[in-house]
Amino acid sequence: MSRGVSVALEEVSRRFGRTEVLHRISFEIRPGEVLGLLGPNGAGKTTTMRVLTGYLRPSSGRLLVDGADAMDDPVGTRALMGYLPEAAPVPRELTVREFLGYCARLRRMPRSRRGPAVGSAVKRAGLERVAGQVIGTLSKGYRQRVALAQALVHDPPVLVLDEPTASLDPRQVAETRTLIRKLGRHHTVLFSSHLLSEVSQLCQRVVIIDRGRIVATRPVAELTNAVELVRLEIRVKGDLDRAAAVLGALDGVTSAERRGDRVVVQGDSGGEDLAERASAAVVGAGLALVELRAGGQDLEDAYLRLVGD
């Protein structure tokens, strides 16, 4: 079973005609690591994954797989990758085993290895119960597992998963997250997601891309516990918009935003007494303080600060 290899993009740019979609991006996925790729729609996440898996050639820069330049051996390096595209199409008329056998043939696996490879992919993707069924009769969650199994059938050391939980129901999302966590024990994994909570649960590091540029490559813990910020969550009885305006006017406050039933306040590290001053300001404005919680910023706060508007 694979144990993962390193993958690195070095100063990679990608242009379509005159439009530059990626601009000199660089990051490394370490052997056996689950790395999250975050970014708003149109940021360049899917293009990055297609370059990384060899489906697109970089306009400039290098892709290194296990230290080897992919331009020198594009077929060999692509063989080390398993790729799950977003909304991956699977043939509805074949059974699960028939489709995976076809994928094994496409991967040029010897006939003697195809059966065991299909069996292993079926087991690892949790498809034993439906392996003989026609794919078109399966639920969306199981069809997503079939798409994942095709990426696993040749047991590649690297897995690239584009929005693997998109459009799944909560139970299917939880099951897919558990599966990705298990895969990270034996593979190098890069996956993209719009769900910040998902990234924080599965990854130790995250790459954030915006407008085709890398804006951060950091440990999740560093992003969620940034020392330069103080974060308060404040609930009041009364006008939340007024509370946000009062809190936003305090010295040391960088933002005060209404979120649901509370106001989230961000302040700089110089505001060590910010909680005390915020409490006094709320009470002084004639609003009843219900709850005040202090803590580091969450991943969503960090993400929004980095990508901006």
- Give the model's confidence band at 193: pLDDT under 50 very low, under 70 low, under 90 confident, else very high: confident
Closest CA to 126 of 166, 183, 165, 169: 183
Return the percentage of the chain with pLDDT > 90, whole number: 56
Phi/psi at 116 (5° precision): -60, -35
293 contacts 239 by C-beta, under 8 angstroms: no
Q: Do 7-223 and 225-307 share a fold?
A: no
Residues belonging to the chain: 309
Report, in angstroms and rounded to the nearest whole number, the Rg of the chain calculated over CA atoms: 23
Burial 276-287 (b: 16+ CB within 10 A, else e): ebbeebbeeeeb
Best mean pLDDT range from 255-259, 282-286, 301-305: 282-286
The closest of 86, 210, 101 to 150, measured between CA atoms, is 101
The pLDDT value given to residue 295? 62
Domains in the chain: boundaries: 7-223, 225-307
The most confident of 45-49, 88-92, 217-221, by mean pLDDT: 45-49
Q: How confident is the model at residue 227 (pLDDT cuts 50, 70, 90)?
A: very low
Place of tokens 């699960």: 96
- What pairs with residue 62 in β-bridges? 10
Structure tokens that stand for 140 in this block: 């969306």
Whether residue 269 is predicted with pLDDT greater than 60 in this model: the reply is: no
More confident residue, 260 or 53: 53
Residue 3: pLDDT band with limits 50, 70, 90? low
Q: In this predicted structure, what is the pLDDT of residue 42?
A: 87
Q: How confident is the model at residue 209 (pLDDT cuts 50, 70, 90)?
A: very high
- C-alpha 28/C-alpha 115 separation (Å) is 34
Options 3.40.1350.10, 3.40.50.300, 3.30.1360.120, 3.30.70.980; which CATH number does 225-307 get? 3.30.70.980
Mapping DSSP onto H, E and C, the string for the chain reads CCCCCCEEEEEEEEEECCEEEEEEEEEEECCCCEEEEECCCCCCHHHHHHHHCCCCCCCEEEEEECCEECCCCHHHHHCCEEEECCCCCCCCCCEHHHHHHHHHHHCCCCHHHHHHHHHHHHHHCCCHHHCCCEHHHCCHHHHHHHHHHHHHCCCCCEEEEECCCCCCCHHHHHHHHHHHHHHCCCCEEEEECCCHHHHHHHCCEEEEEECCEEEEEEEHHHHHCCCCEEEEEEEEECCHHHHHHHHHCCCCEEEEEEECCEEEEEEECCCCCHHHHHHHHHHHCCCEEEEEEEECCCHHHHHHHHHCC
At 152, list the tokens.
């696993």
Instruction: Check residue 137 and give its pLDDT.
Output: 96
Q: What is the pLDDT of residue 272?
A: 54
More confident position, 304 or 5: 5
292 pLDDT tier (thresholds 50, 70, 90) = confident
Average pLDDT in the chain: 88
Residue 231 has a CB neighbour count (10 Å cut-off) of 20
Q: Does 270 have pLDDT greater than 70? A: no
pLDDT 10s digits, 51-102:
999 999 999 999 999 999 999 999 899 999 999 998 778 999 999 999 999 9
Average pLDDT over residues 269-294: 81
Within 13 Å of residue 191, how many CA atoms lie on the same side as its CB?
Answer: 32
The CATH number of domain 7-223, selected from 3.40.50.300, 3.20.20.10, 3.40.50.620, 3.30.530.20: 3.40.50.300
Asked which of 87-91, 184-188, 223-227 is least confident by mean pLDDT, the reply is 223-227
pLDDT at 246: 93
- Whether the predicted pLDDT of 194 surpasses 80: no
What residue type is 56 in one-letter code? Answer: L
Residue type at 149 in one-letter notation: A
